[in-house]
Each structure stands twice: as structure tokens, then as C-alpha cells.
């Protein structure tokens, strides 16, 4: 169907002009600050934009579904006409799943959604359930992480645009893989953000770490919230996506009685019932507040899950011995016991890094699978000074330990692209801002961010250097190496064990204990035992051995060599 109606919200404008096909068309004002125009015929695909109050500049559509010439160019009319092949798809719930995080631009050499499809069979063989795609909404420049998006309804053209995105989701579903889309609603990028020209999308009196806050509770915020909620529905309904990962929700400044996240949870719950498939909302939050993932009926915000930084910090600090910066409170096995037993390590106690008390205890309504856990992710790797992965900081044996703790421990495990074979390729922070001044500001600001971590600032790569981007591409050739292939086999084994024994997907947190160099976690009738030390040790644990790394003897007493792991079931 040809689109011939154009609607835009511009409540403060005294006149609005639609510029379509190079011709000006006066728009009519409707209720609530909306303006509309009809073109007969409009043509199937035409370039268009809006002129505000007779000004010279023509702005792209705030709800543009396609930006063929980038975020500063005109919008293009678009209607998705993909012939979907996922009619039998019934979805994937978060509980029991394994997530794989990828970045379209670096997942393959071509850096497109279509080329990513060619690697999906690898994910199927690995055994993951959900593919979490870093932001794909349109941003200025050719390559970047995607968190500086400014056209939230448009898919980044260098990735292939909206048709390629539909092909990618469809291909995932036909292989039994669900899709979680990473979205950013807490801020807009520094270049190409024309929303304030149209209406009060931002609150310039309040700032978050990225600039002016999104207007969620001030005058005109009803339409701003509707803008976000309609974007949520676009991904889940139009593009058949199975869930959203919501970036840094602690930066959503909302003082209304009903928080935006609660309103979002209610709408997604209704949409899920309508579509008859599970839809998940996963929040990135550093608040350690269980209300984020508590049911709305009991006063929570109703998110299905949230990322758990505490788990990552406890695993990495104990494997690397790093006690600097935000690892300061985690470099002890007590922290690992804490995240296995209670979910959060900081649950109202003092945080050395923050210099204050942080978090609150997990409530009984929270299930272990609601915490998404990892030993590496895009933030933790890319926000190291040089983009180093855990694989370059610890031995292969310790990588195997990290994998076992993450995949078989409480929580929903997430694997970052290349982690499954212990890739040593860095994944750095990269940008391609065309504006020289902005690019220089980003490069200089990057070094300032690391001052508190006591890292070597001379090792910080220039985000604007194209080599930083190209040097972050997934090194698929590493799989030709026996050591990398062996670790990949270990990941496959762990995921199969997780899927085979109910204890490893239990909604309950684990019981855990520690010694000077050892750690044991019990989940139902299953046990994960790890020797962190250099000397052999014996633990009074017996059961049926289903997975091992390093020396592990299945006897009445469990004998573990240095940096080794044993996974047992049917433990009494």
C-alpha cells in the first residue's frame, strides 16, 4: 500500500510544511499539536521532510522508517513488505535461555545484517537460544557502537536498512533463535538529533551522563512517552522481535506515579497476549534495586530481567586478581559466594568505588533467571582502556572456569561474540563522527573516563581511527587453532549440560561455600566445584561427573588439580 498521509507532532509550530519530492505542501493543524498532509498520489517511495515555521532547513521525520542518505538527509517513505517465513515461530522465554550478544558491524567482515545471517548456524551449533543485537537504529557516521542513535525508528543504512533487518530476524526464527534488540531511550546522540526542533522531547533543565534528559514527566511528555512506546511496538510487532534490552534505565528520569518502564511492561504484556508468544524486557541498571524486576502487582516495575554487573565483577576480579576501580569490593571469593546465593553483592552495604552505600537485598519474588550474567560483554570489554578481552588477561584454564560459573550458575548466561572460543581479538570503543570537532572531543573524553581506573591512558586507542573499528572485527580464523576449538567444545558441553539437567535452570539462587582457594556451588542435586589455586586439593563431594576441565577424579572424594572444574549431578 502506498503511503500518502504524513503526520508529525510539532506543538509549538505556527506553521508546518511538508517537502515531498522537492515540492512544498502546506500542512493542516490537528488536535494535540499534530500536523497532517495528504498527497494523492504520493508515489511508492519518495524523499520527504518538514519545514518548520517557514524556515529554510528541511528536517527529517522524527518517526522516519528509513534514512537512505544518513540522519542529516531527507526521510524516505517506507512500508515493510517482507514475506515472513516464521509463521510457526512460538517464541523463546527468558527463563532457561542462553543469550549471545553481537554487534552487526563487527560480527562479520562485511558488517551487515545479511552477512550476519551466514554465521547463524554457528550459534545454533553452540546451543544458544536468544541473539541480542546491539543497537541498529540510525546514527551519524558509518560505524559505531550504536548508542548514539538519533533516528529511533530507522535501521542504520550501512547495516542494510529495514528490509535486511527483517530478513535477519526471520532467518533467526527459522533456525530456532529468538532475537533481543538493544534499544536506547535514555538519551540521543550528539549529531543529527532534530527532535527538539519539533517539540519538547528533551528536558534541558535536567541532565544525565550524556546530556539533556529525555522529557518523560514534564509538559508535553505524554507524546514523548508515546513516541517511545510506539517504537517498542515497532520492534516487537512489525519486526517480530522477541524482546528488548533497555540501555541504562537508571538514566530514565521519570517522577510520574507510573514510571515509563511500568507503563512499557504493561503494554508489552498486552501485546504478548495478542501475538501469542513471549516478549521480554531486559533492563540495564546499576541500581541493584530488585523493584526493577519485581511484578507490577507488588509495586515493582515489571521488567522481566536485568543485567547483573555484580556477577561479572565477582568472576573477573577473582580470576584476574584485579582489585582496582569498581573491582575493589569483589576481589575475594566471598563476593562470588554472595552473587551465587543472593544475586547482588552490594545489597545496601558500602561500595568503595562509589564512596557510599549501594543497592538493596533481592526480594523473594525475584527469580535467579531474571539476572542476566556474563564474564564479558560489550561494555566490560570496550570500556577497558585498550579493549582487551578476558582471554588476554587469564589462562585458558581460567577462561574455562569463567564459562562454567556463568553458564551453570544462577542467572541467564550471556556470551559476547567470540568469547565462546576465547578470542584474543580486542573489541574497542570506535566512532566515525564526520564532524572533526566532535570526533576530537570524543577521543579526548575517552581518556578522561579512565582516570579513576588507574589504567595506562597512553594505551587508549583513538575511537575515530578507522583501524580501531577494523581491529575490533571478530577473528573467525582463530577457530582453526586447536586451543580455541577446544574451548568452543567446552562451551558447547556446558550449554548441553545446562539444558540436560533441570537443576541448572532452577529459578532459585544457589547455595555456595568457599575455602582459601576453592569454591563450590550447589544447585538442587547438582554441584559446580572449582579450584582457583595452583595446588591439588580434595573436596568431600561425591556424585555423577557430567563435565570436567583439568584434573578431576570421580571418586568418593573429589580431587581437583590447579584451575580445574568438576560438574556433578545426583549429589546427595
Find out whether 120 is annotated in a ligand binding site. Answer: no
Find out whether 381 is annotated in a ligand binding site. Answer: yes
CA distance 121 to 131: 12
Find out whether 379 is annotated in a ligand binding site. Answer: yes
The 8-class DSSP code of residue 569 comes to: E
| Strands of the sheet with 552-553, listed across from one edge | 537-539, 558-560, 552-553
Lookup: cell for 391: 582471554
3-state helix, strand, coil in the chain (%, to 5): 35, 20, 45
Find out whether 193 is annotated in a ligand binding site. Answer: no
Alpha helices in 392-481 (DSSP H): 396-408, 436-449, 466-470
Question: Apex CA 516: angle with CA 512 and CA 522, to 5°?
Answer: 15
Q: Give the per-residue SS3 of 106-146.
A: HHCCCCCHHHHHCCHHHHHHHCCCEEEECCCEEECCCCCCC
Find out whether 83 is annotated in a ligand binding site. Answer: no
125 is annotated as an active-site residue = no
Write out the DSSP string of 487-542.
HHHHHHHHHHHHHH-GGGG-SSPPEEEE-SSEEEEEETTEEEEEE-SSS-EEE---
Find out whether 203 is annotated in a ligand binding site. Answer: no
CA distance 160 to 152: 16
Q: Which position among 254, 284, 286, 420 bears the catalytic label? A: 284
Find out whether 46 is annotated in a ligand binding site. Answer: no
List the beta bridge partners of residue 207. 212
Find out whether 380 is annotated in a ligand binding site. Answer: yes
- C-alpha 390: how far from chain center: 19
Q: Which position among 247, 304, 329, 376 bears the catalytic label? A: 247
247 is annotated as an active-site residue = yes
Find out whether 181 is annotated in a ligand binding site. Answer: no
Exposure string for 247-281, b = 16+ CB within 10 A, e = fewer:
bbbebbbbeeeebbbbbbbebbeeebeeeebbbbb
Find out whether 310 is annotated in a ligand binding site. Answer: yes
Q: Which of 367, 215, 260 is nearest to 306 (CA)?
A: 367
Find out whether 312 is annotated in a ligand binding site. Answer: yes
CA distance 547 to 567: 5
Find out whether 311 is annotated in a ligand binding site. Answer: yes
Find out whether 309 is annotated in a ligand binding site. Answer: yes
Residues forming the annotated binding site for substrate?
A: 245-250, 309-313, 378-383
Catalytic amino acids? 247, 284
Binding site listing: 245-250, 309-313, 378-383
Amino acid at each position: 500500500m502506498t503511503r500518502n498521509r504524513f503526520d508529525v507532532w510539532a506543538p509549538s509550530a505556527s506553521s508546518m510544511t511538508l517537502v515531498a519530492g522537492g515540492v512544498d505542501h502546506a500542512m493542516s493543524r490537528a488536535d494535540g499539536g499534530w500536523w497532517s498532509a495528504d498527497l494523492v498520489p504520493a508515489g511508492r517511495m519518495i524523499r520527504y521532510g518538514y519545514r518548520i515555521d517557514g524556515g529554510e532547513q528541511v528536517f527529517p521525520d522524527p518517526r522516519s522508517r528509513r534514512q537512505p542518505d544518513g540522519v542529516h538527509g531527507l526521510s524516505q517513505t517506507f512500508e515493510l513488505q517482507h514475506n515472513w517465513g516464521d509463521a510457526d515461530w512460538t517464541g523463546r522465554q527468558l527463563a532457561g535461555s542462553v543469550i549471545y550478544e553481537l554487534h552487526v558491524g563487527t560480527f562479520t567482515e562485511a558488517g551487515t545484517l545479511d552477512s550476519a545471517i551466514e554465521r547463524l548456524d554457528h550459534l545454533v551449533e553452540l546451543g544458544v537460544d536468544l541473539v541480542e543485537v546491539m543497537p541498529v537504529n540510525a546514527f551519524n557516521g558509518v560505524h559505531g557502537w550504536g548508542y548514539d542513535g538519533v533516528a529511533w525508528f530507522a535501521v542504520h543504512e550501512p547495516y542494510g536498512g529495514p528490509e535486511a533487518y527483517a530478513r535477519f530476524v526471520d532467518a533467526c526464527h527459522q533456525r530456532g533463535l529468538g532475537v533481543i534488540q538493544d534499544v536506547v531511550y535514555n538519551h540521543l546522540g550528539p549529531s543529527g538529533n532534530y527532535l527538539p526542533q519539533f517539540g519538547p522531547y528533551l528536558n534541558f533543565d535536567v541532565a544525565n551522563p550524556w546530556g539533556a534528559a529525555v522529557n518523560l514527566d514534564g509538559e508535553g511528555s505524554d507524546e514523548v512517552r508515546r513516541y517511545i512506546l510506539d517504537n517498542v511496538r515497532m520492534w516487537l510487532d512489525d519486526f517480530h522481535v522477541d524482546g528488548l534490552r533497555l540501555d541504562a534505565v537508571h538514566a530514565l528520569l521519570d517522577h510520574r506515579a507510573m514510571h515509563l518502564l511500568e507503563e512499557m511492561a504493561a503494554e508489552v504484556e498486552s501485546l504478548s497476549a495478542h501475538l501469542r508468544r513471549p516478549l521480554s524486557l531486559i533492563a540495564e541498571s546499576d541500581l541493584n534495586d530488585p523493584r526493577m524486576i519485581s511484578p507490577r502487582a507488588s509495586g515493582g516495575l515489571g521488567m522481566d530481567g536485568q543485567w547483573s554487573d555484580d556477577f561479572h565483577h565477582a568472576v573477573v576480579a577473582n580470576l584476574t586478581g584485579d582489585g582496582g576501580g569498581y573491582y575493589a569490593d569483589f576481589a575475594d571469593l566471598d563476593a562470588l559466594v554472595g552473587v551465587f546465593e543472593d544475586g547482588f553483592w552490594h545489597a545496601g552495604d558500602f561500595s568503595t568505588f562509589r564512596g557510599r552505600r549501594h543497592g538493596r537485598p533481592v526480594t523473594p519474588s525475584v527469580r535467579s533467571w531474571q539476572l542476566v550474567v556474563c564474564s564479558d560483554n560489550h561494555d566490560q570489554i570496550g570500556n577497558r582502556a585498550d579493549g582487551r578481552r578476558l582471554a588476554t588477561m587469564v589462562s585458558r584454564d581460567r577462561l574455562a572456569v569463567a564459562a562454567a560459573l556463568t553458564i551453570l550458575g544462577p542467572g541467564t548466561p550471556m556470551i559476547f561474540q567470540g568469547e565462546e572460543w576465547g578470542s584474543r581479538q580486542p573489541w574497542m570503543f570506535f566512532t566515525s563522527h564526520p564532524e572533526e570537532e566532535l570526533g576530537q572531543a570524543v577521543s579526548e573524553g575517552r581518556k578522561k573516563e579512565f582516570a579513576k581506573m588507574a589504567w595506562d591512558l597512553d594505551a587508549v586507542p583513538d575511537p575515530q581511527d578507522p583501524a580501531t573499528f577494523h581491529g575490533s572485527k571478530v577473528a573467525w580464523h582463530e577457530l582453526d587453532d586447536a586451543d580455541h576449538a577446544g574451548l568452543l567444545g567446552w562451551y558447547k558441553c556446558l550449554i548441553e549440560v545446562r539444558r540436560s539437567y533441570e537443576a541448572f535452570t532452577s529459578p532459585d539462587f544457589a547455595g555456595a561455600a568457599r575455602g582459601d582457594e576453592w569454591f563450590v556451588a550447589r544447585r538442587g542435586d547438582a554441584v559446580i566445584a572449582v579450584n582457583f589455586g595452583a595446588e591439588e586439593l580434595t573436596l568431600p563431594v561425591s556424585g555423577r561427573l557430567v563435565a570436567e576441565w583439568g584434573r578431576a577424579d570421580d571418586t568418593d572424594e573429589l580431587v581437583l588439580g590447579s584451575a580445574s572444574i568438576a560438574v556433578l549431578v545426583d549429589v546427595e
